[in-house]
Amino acid sequence: MDKILVTGGLGYIGSHVVVELLEKGNQVVIIDDLSNAYESVLDGIQKITDKRPLWENVDIKDKTSLSSFFDKHQGFDGVIHFAASKSVGESVANPMLYYQNNVVGLLNLIDACLKNNVNNFIFSSSCTVYGKPDNLPISEDEPIKPASSPYGATKQMGEQILEDFSKSHGLKTIFLRYFNPVGAHSSGLIGELPINTPQNLVPFVTQTAAGVLEKLTVFGDDYDTPDGSCIRDYIHVQDLADAHIAALNYLESSKETCEVFNIGTGQGNSVLELINSFMEVTGVEVPYEVGERRAGDLPELYANPEKAIRKLNWKSKLDMKQALLDAWRWEKNYRGIK
Ligand code: UD1
């Protein structure tokens, strides 16, 4: 697969995947409407790879601009679809935005792919589709439970929609169910840069360490876990980017039309462990307090990544400490901190 369309390619995960694709010699075209990304990410990508990918400001909700985009750009071998909204809390407050962006946008993109003979599709899914799992670690066979937020519902629907098109139109599809992506490119030139106050733990930690935010709140230390704080599977965004390359290679050779893979390390770490590791590896103090539980948080989630190891020939290589060092390098670079 040579020519790849990356939707949301200026966002956090998308930009790291674009770098990997360019470094592997792929042609990349990005569409991104800058709703949660900055155009300057292109400079970071260019500094790392010596290549500046084509970018068009296209909102996938807008069928007309999507179709003019495809009139201009043809011959894609595959699409990697990141362009979606991802904040659980925001989805509860504004479900319309989530159904529009994540469902209507997806339908428009599938329609455009079918009309333009783009037959390989990688979909950013999430461990959120499992809801509260019965078993740990979570394997792909774990039943899908009712979603606890509109965001989660849109990821479940996205998978269902793609499965139907894969059956009816032979669209070859892979869903990658990410656990908790963290870290940044080792160059410190691209990383996670939310437009508003971060909702996720690691950007909250790095922005507190940088003095941008005053204090971090640990959402609950009375869970039934060894230290009372929640446990997650923190996967380095570089490893996650590699998983997309592995998935593209797999799509090329596989006869399966629709497959799902968990993308995690298989290792769970608590919120308090993460904060302490950050302070240990960076030597920077992070002021924090323990607060109330956050509605909707589950005590413990971590992946069984065996299927991806076996079939995609992919495995995470970088640990949480490395991810925290990389996230901090990026935050310092961005803020101009020595
Ligand atoms: C959530 C979604 C996931 C989505 C991800 C990215 C669920 C179950 N998970 O993950 O699908 O892809 O967001 O948007 O819907 N925490 C604090 N203080 C903070 C922030 C977080 O203590 O200021 C804790 C949380 O309680 C949680 C852990 O840190 O235990 C990780 O939180 P977060 O980074 O928001 O990710 P998830 O909620 O696990």
Q: Are strands 27-31 and 54-56 parallel, antiparallel or unpaired?
A: parallel
Q: Does ligand 1 lie within 6 Å of residue 198's CB atom?
A: no
Mean of the per-residue pLDDT values for the chain? 97
For the segment 168-194, what is each residue's pLDDT rounded down to a tens digit?
A: 999 999 999 999 999 999 999 999 988
Which one of the listed residues 151, 178, 234, 302 is annotated catalytic? 151
Which residues have C-beta within 8 Å of that of residue 278, sequence separation ≥ 6?
205, 206, 209, 284, 286, 324, 328
**Measuring from atom 10 of ligand 1, which residue has the nearest CA?**
180
d(CA 123, CA 103): 12
Considering only residues 296 and 130, tell me which one the structure prediction assigns the higher pLDDT: 130
Buried b or exposed e, range 15-25, using 16+ CB within 10 angstroms? bbbbbbbbeee
Residue 144's CATH number: 3.40.50.720
Mean pLDDT of 307-313: 97
For the segment 204-250, what is each residue's pLDDT rounded down to a tens digit?
A: 999 999 999 999 999 999 999 999 999 999 999 999 999 999 999 99
Q: Which of 124, 180, 223 to mutate to test the pocket of ligand 1 (most atoms within 8 A of CB)?
A: 180
d(CA 238, CA 218): 26
Inside any domain, residue 319: no
pLDDT score of 241: 98
Inside any domain, residue 62: yes
Tokens of 192: 């996670």
Inside any domain, residue 40: yes
Inside any domain, residue 113: yes
Inside any domain, residue 191: no
Q: Does ligand 1 lie within 6 Å of residue 152's CB atom?
A: yes
For the segment 24-38, what is each residue's pLDDT rounded down to a tens digit?
A: 999 999 999 999 999
Mean pLDDT of 98-119: 98
Q: How confident is the model at residue 256 (pLDDT cuts 50, 70, 90)?
A: confident
Task: Calculate the alpha carbon distances from 163 to 159, 168, 257, 318 in Å.
Answer: 6, 9, 8, 32
Q: Does ligand 1 lie within 6 Å of residue 201's CB atom?
A: yes
d(CA 200, CA 204): 6
151 is a catalytic site residue: yes
Domain ranges, residue 106: 3-184+236-264
Inside any domain, residue 129: yes
Q: Considering its fold, how many domains does the chain have in total? A: 1
**Measuring from atom 6 of ligand 1, which residue has the nearest CA?**
86
pLDDT score of 199: 87
**pLDDT exceeds 90 at position 296:** no
Inside any domain, residue 47: yes
The pTM assigned to this predicted structure is 0.97
Angle between helices 41-49 and 12-23 (to 10 degrees): 30
pLDDT score of 99: 98
pLDDT score of 92: 93
For the segment 54-107, what is each residue's pLDDT rounded down to a tens digit?
A: 999 999 999 999 999 999 999 999 999 999 999 998 999 999 999 999 999 999
* Polymer length of the chain: 338
Inside any domain, residue 294: no
